[in-house]
């Protein structure tokens, strides 16, 4: 039996998998001859997998695989003609309307090599930074906060900190469902070390039920919770003044407003919606020389104050001098398998490759490296703005890769209409059945997990190889290859890649130049700049920074441990929050429900890869919306009713019954009085109803442009 090591296709834990075959010949291997287990040697999971990961091979029985490029008429087209058509449409659109009339919308499912080539194509050659990613929807508020506080998008800690922490604080994270392998590690550490688990979440989630302390704060109250904690640390003389003086700036400007909250804990507790005893218990965990590890996820990020909330969490660790220290500090849980890798190559419209911004020297370095006369010279449109521009007719050609914005973006009805009206839509997908694929003028067959090869970076900065082990179906191709074909048809030099390894090597060489020019940049894979094909093929999971080839295989790294940060002053920043009074949710009328969306345990994103797996569908077979029984009674609804879900703003302008989210009501004692939960997964493809994002409006965090998917006021109507 021979074995190939790869990585899981789903969440940001980034588990390693071992795929074994009873067939000696991998070229023609049959799925039924394969076996998948967790990779015992991978530092992210040490052999463990969750239910979704264990069923990865089942995802390959995709009922309708896209095998050939197709036109909207469902007419097949060959790759040569398809890439010529795309090149021609993009070139003509840019010639007539300028570079910003085109856009690329990418995905945390893409491999780093795909992401790199897409960004080079858009920012270096099309001269537009209108290239954003669905990662904007899951972690961009954490990115903005880390950039503001640390000077760069850098997660300081590593998974090993879980094993050393005295207290683990999960904020807005149902880790038991969304990062299951990491949660099992947390439970194991809790048992072995008697560490305490605190969960901050309005809902009594599966994660909260395992906590030593669950703070069921009001939605949006976490900013005040952590800003008040900063004041409490100062009040109790627990802050590390030496560290603050030597390694930070802005503390004196921020502490007064923090202490205004902490000076009356009873009042603060009432504002947050928790008991004074629980609040005090939580705050005291930080002042007794404990090693406290805080990890936040979508509950924090998907908020209109997500950046400031994350900053408030970081401030508390800075005040204690606990950043980059063993078992303590701030950690951001990434949603997707390669959200981090996308950020590294400039996958967000708001940054350039290798964590560079848009300053003139940074632009020039990139232009010189790519041998072009200039690159995009300003930030592009982030996801929500990008699709608004599409709806307004300002963007006239878009290429969407590996994501399903018709289901996953807020106000998804508007997104669908914008794509239907757009003059030219290209979609790269593994199936023609996704709601977005159905709106494509040109549909390109992308290689899926098991076929494609490249690298991904997980939440703790570990770069892992994703290796193919099945023959690609039909004419499916890597995304980097498809972009390169179009780029060459447009006459661009620099896209003559022979392999994914050659793309990665170029990216690592760019990193070397960036590090040489901007020494304070923390992101660094310069040690891989001379990587050979064989070394790339054999690359072991490695955590960055990778300054030398000798670092291959390293793990357990912590950053900023010496108190030297990536800001111009080398000091971390305290930033005064402006939204303290904007976050907490006002008590709403009896007829209104605050809708919270998120993931369920057994599905992935818009279900294009997991919706057909019967064992994963079994736990929640249809769209449901969970509410407390008392709330149901007050709305004259009963368990099992089918309801239409209208966003409040939408109700005021459009009360028609069609195209609203619909779901079956489930009574759930774990829900707070006025909050409903519905998963993000459902689409027209997998249910009669419409997905939750039909009822979510376009509010975003103005600092990160991340949509505020949580806390949407809605009205439920029985249908
Ligand atoms: Fe895959 Fe995440 Fe499960 Fe690991 S925890 S097996 S990466 S879905």
- 584-600 pLDDT, tens digit per residue, is 555 567 788 888 887 77
Residue 654, pLDDT > 50, answer no
- Using alpha carbons only, give the angle 298, 711, 714 rounded to the nearest 5 degrees: 140
Measuring from each residue's beta carbon to the nearest atom of ligand 1, which residues come in under 6 Å? 8, 10-11, 13-15, 45, 49-50, 52-53, 179-181
Q: Look up the pTM and report it.
A: 0.94
Residue 293 · residue 331 · CB < 8 Å: yes
Question: CA-CA distance, 582 to 408, in Å (whole number)?
Answer: 26
Q: Provide the 3-class DSSP secondary structure of residue 665.
A: strand
**Per-residue confidence (pLDDT) for residue 705, from 0 to 100:** 92
How far apart, in Å, are the Cα atoms of 51 and each of 172, 248, 342, 608? 22, 43, 26, 17
- Using alpha carbons only, give the angle 378, 96, 134 rounded to the nearest 5 degrees: 45
Question: CA-CA distance, 632 to 635, in Å (whole number)?
Answer: 5
Question: What confidence tier does 689 reach under pLDDT thresholds 50, 70, 90?
Answer: low
Residue 624 · residue 703 · CB < 8 Å: no
Per residue in 115-140, pLDDT (tens digit) is 999 999 999 999 999 999 999 998 99
Q: Residue with the nearest Cα to atom 3 of ligand 1?
A: 50
**Per-residue confidence (pLDDT) for residue 655, from 0 to 100:** 46
Residue 17 · residue 38 · CB < 8 Å: yes
Pairing of β 397-401 and β 424-429: parallel
CA atoms within 13 A on the CB side of 242: 1
Residue 253, pLDDT > 70, answer yes
Per residue in 379-403, pLDDT (tens digit) is 999 999 999 999 999 999 999 999 9
- Of 416, 437, 436, 413, nearest to 696 (Cα)? 413
Per residue in 562-590, pLDDT (tens digit) is 999 999 999 999 999 998 765 555 556 77
- Delimit the CATH 3.40.228.10 region(s) of the chain: 140-333
Distance 181 CA to ligand 1 centre (A): 6
DSSP 352: B
Question: CA-CA distance, 402 to 451, in Å (whole number)?
Answer: 14
Per residue in 521-569, pLDDT (tens digit) is 999 999 999 999 999 999 999 999 999 999 999 999 999 999 999 999 9
Question: CA-CA distance, 478 to 149, in Å (whole number)?
Answer: 37
Q: Which CATH architecture has domain 140-333?
A: 3-Layer(aba) Sandwich (3.40)
Mutate-to-test residue for ligand 1 from 6, 43, 49, highest number of ligand atoms within 8 A of CB: 49
Take residue 308 and report the two structure tokens written for it: 């400031």
Average pLDDT of the chain? 92
How far apart, in Å, are the Cα atoms of 633 and each of 588, 674, 681? 17, 12, 27
Mutate-to-test residue for ligand 1 from 7, 12, 14, 15, highest number of ligand atoms within 8 A of CB: 15
Average pLDDT (294-304) is: 93
Atom of ligand 1 nearest to the CA of 53: 6
**Per-residue confidence (pLDDT) for residue 657, from 0 to 100:** 43
Task: Taking each helix axis as running N to C, give the angle between helix 412-421 and helix 383-391, from 0 to 180 degrees, rounded to the nearest 10.
Answer: 50
Q: How far is CA 130 from the centre of its chain?
A: 18
Per residue in 608-620, pLDDT (tens digit) is 766 777 777 777 7
**Per-residue confidence (pLDDT) for residue 653, from 0 to 100:** 42
- Hey, what CATH topology would domain 2-60 get? N-terminal domain of TfIIb (2.20.25)
- Delimit the CATH 2.20.25.90 region(s) of the chain: 2-60
Pairing of β 424-429 and β 442-445: parallel
Atom of ligand 1 nearest to the CA of 17: 6
Helix segments in 518-659, DSSP class H: 533-537, 580-583, 614-617, 629-634, 648-653
Question: CA-CA distance, 474 to 595, in Å (whole number)?
Answer: 42
Q: Residue with the nearest Cα to atom 6 of ligand 1?
A: 53
Report the percentage of the chain scoring pLDDT > 90: 74
Residue 169, pLDDT > 50, answer yes
Q: Provide the 3-class DSSP secondary structure of residue 246.
A: helix
70-137+338-486 carries CATH number 3.40.50.740: yes
Distance 15 CA to ligand 1 centre (A): 6
Distance 204 CA to ligand 1 centre (A): 23
Residue 90 · residue 122 · CB < 8 Å: no
- Delimit the CATH 2.40.40.20 region(s) of the chain: 586-718
**Per-residue confidence (pLDDT) for residue 583, from 0 to 100:** 52
Q: Name 593's bridge partners.
A: 714
ipTM over 0.95: yes
Helix segments in 546-595, DSSP class H: 580-583
CATH code of 586-718, in short, is 2.40.40.20
Take residue 551 and report the two structure tokens written for it: 């670092």
Question: What confidence tier does 376 reach under pLDDT thresholds 50, 70, 90?
Answer: very high
- Of 472, 479, 475, 471, nearest to 500 (Cα)? 479
Per residue in 70-79, pLDDT (tens digit) is 998 889 999 9
Report the percentage of the chain scoring pLDDT > 70: 96
Taking every pair of Cα atoms in the chain, the longest distance, rounded to a whole number of angstroms, is 71
Question: CA-CA distance, 502 to 497, in Å (whole number)?
Answer: 6
């Amino acid at each position: 039996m021979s074995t190939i090591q790869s990585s899981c296709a789903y969440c940001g834990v980034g588990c390693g998998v071992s795929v074994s075959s009873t067939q000696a010949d991998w070229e023609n291997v049959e799925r039924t001859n394969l076996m998948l287990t967790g990779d015992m040697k991978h530092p992210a999971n040490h052999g463990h997998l969750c239910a979704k990961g264990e069923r990865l091979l089942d995802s390959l029985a995709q009922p309708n695989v896209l095998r050939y490029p197709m036109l909207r008429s469902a007419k097949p087209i060959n790759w040569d003609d398809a890439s010529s058509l795309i090149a021609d449409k993009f070139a003509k659109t840019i010639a007539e309307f300028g570079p910003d009339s085109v856009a690329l919308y990418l995905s945390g499912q893409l491999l780093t090599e795909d992401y790199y080539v897409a960004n080079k194509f858009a920012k270096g050659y099309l001269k537009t930074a209108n290239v954003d990613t669905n990662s904007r929807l899951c972690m961009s508020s954490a990115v903005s906060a880390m950039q503001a506080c640390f000077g760069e998008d850098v997660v300081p800690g590593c998974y090993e900190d879980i094993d050393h922490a005295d207290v683990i604080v999960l904020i807005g994270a149902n880790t038991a469902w969304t990062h299951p392998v990491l949660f099992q590690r947390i439970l194991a550490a809790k048992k072995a070390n008697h560490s305490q688990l605190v969960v901050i979440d309005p809902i009594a989630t599966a994660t909260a039920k395992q906590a030593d302390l669950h703070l069921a704060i009001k939605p949006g109250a976490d900013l005040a919770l952590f800003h008040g904690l900063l004041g409490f640390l100062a009040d109790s003389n627990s802050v590390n003044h030496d560290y603050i003086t030597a390694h930070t700036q802005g503390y004196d400007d921020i502490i007064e407003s923090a202490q205004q909250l902490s000076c009356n804990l009873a009042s603060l507790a009432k504002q947050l919606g928790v008991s004074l005893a629980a609040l005090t218990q939580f705050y005291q965990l930080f002042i007794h020389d404990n090693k406290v590890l805080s990890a936040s996820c979508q509950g924090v990020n998907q908020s209109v104050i997500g950046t400031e909330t994350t900053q408030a969490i970081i401030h508390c660790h800075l005040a204690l001098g606990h950043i980059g220290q063993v078992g303590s500090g701030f950690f951001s849980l990434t949603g997707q398998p390669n959200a981090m890798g996308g950020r590294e190559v400039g996958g967000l419209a708001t940054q350039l490759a290798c964590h560079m911004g848009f300053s003139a020297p940074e632009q020039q370095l990139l232009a010189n490296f790519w041998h072009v006369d200039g690159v995009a010279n300003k930030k592009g449109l982030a996801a929500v703005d990008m699709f608004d521009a599409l709806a307004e007719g300002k963007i006239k050609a878009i290429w969407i890769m590996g994501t399903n914005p018709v289901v996953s973006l807020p106000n998804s009805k508007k997104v669908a209409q914008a794509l239907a009206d757009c003059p030219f839509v290209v979609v790269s997908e593994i199936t023609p059945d996704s709601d977005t694929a159905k709106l494509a003028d040109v549909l390109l067959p992308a290689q899926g997990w098991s076929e494609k090869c490249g690298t991904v970076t997980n939440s703790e900065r570990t770069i892992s190889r994703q290796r193919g082990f099945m023959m690609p179906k039909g004419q499916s191709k890597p995304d980097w290859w498809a972009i390169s074909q179009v780029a060459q048809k447009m006459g661009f030099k620099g896209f003559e890649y022979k392999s994914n390894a050659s793309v990665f090597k170029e990216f690592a060489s760019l990193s070397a130049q960036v590090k040489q020019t901007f020494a304070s940049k923390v992101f660094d894979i310069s040690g891989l700049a001379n990587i050979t094909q064989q070394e790339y093929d054999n690359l072991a999971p490695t955590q960055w920074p990778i300054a030398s080839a000798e670092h291959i295989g390293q793990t357990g790294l912590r950053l900023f441990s010496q108190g030297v940060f990536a800001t111009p002053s080398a000091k971390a920043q305290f930033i005064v929050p402006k939204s303290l009074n904007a976050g907490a949710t006002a008590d709403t009328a009896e007829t209104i429900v605050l809708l919270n969306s998120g993931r369920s345990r057994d599905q992935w994103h818009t279900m294009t890869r997991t919706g057909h797996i019967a064992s994963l569908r079994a736990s929640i077979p249809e769209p449901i919306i969970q509410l407390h029984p008392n709330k149901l009674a007050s709305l004259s609804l009963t368990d099992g009713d089918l309801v239409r879900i209208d966003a409040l703003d939408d109700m005021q302008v459009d009360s028609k019954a069609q195209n609203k989210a619909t779901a079956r009501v489930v009574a759930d004692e774990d829900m707070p009085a006025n909050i409903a939960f519905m998963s993000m997964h459902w689409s027209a493809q997998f249910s009669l109803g419409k997905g939750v994002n039909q009822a979510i409006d376009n509010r975003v965090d103005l600092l990160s442009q991340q949509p505020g998917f949580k806390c949407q006021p809605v009205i439920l109507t029985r249908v």
